[in-house]
Amino acid sequence: MYLPKVLFLFFHLLHPNEAQQRRPTISYITQPEIVTDIGGDARMKCSIHYAQEYPVIWIKLDDVDR
């Protein structure tokens, strides 16, 4: 009688919800534009999978900042 409940609990502890296992993943980034002006802007487009529940922020890091 308790075996089905125990098996159900055991299965869900070992196999958590699939949505909890997904992390945001960058799937596509356009090639950067060539910027000829110092301090100029460049536009890039990207696609991210599984990012509905996460904020996505892009920043540029120089070699010194890394």
Domain segments of the chain as ranges: 19-66
Does this model's pTM top 0.85? My answer is no
Say whether 10 sits in a helix, a strand or coil.
helix
What pLDDT does 53 receive? 75
Question: In the 8-state DSSP scheme, what is residue 4?
Answer: H
One digit per residue, the tens of pLDDT, for the chain of length 66 reads 566 665 565 555 555 555 456 778 888 888 877 777 887 777 778 888 887 777 777 777 777 766
What DSSP state is assigned to residue 52? T
pLDDT for position 11: 59
**How far is Cα 18 from Cα 11, in angstroms, rounded to an integer?**
13
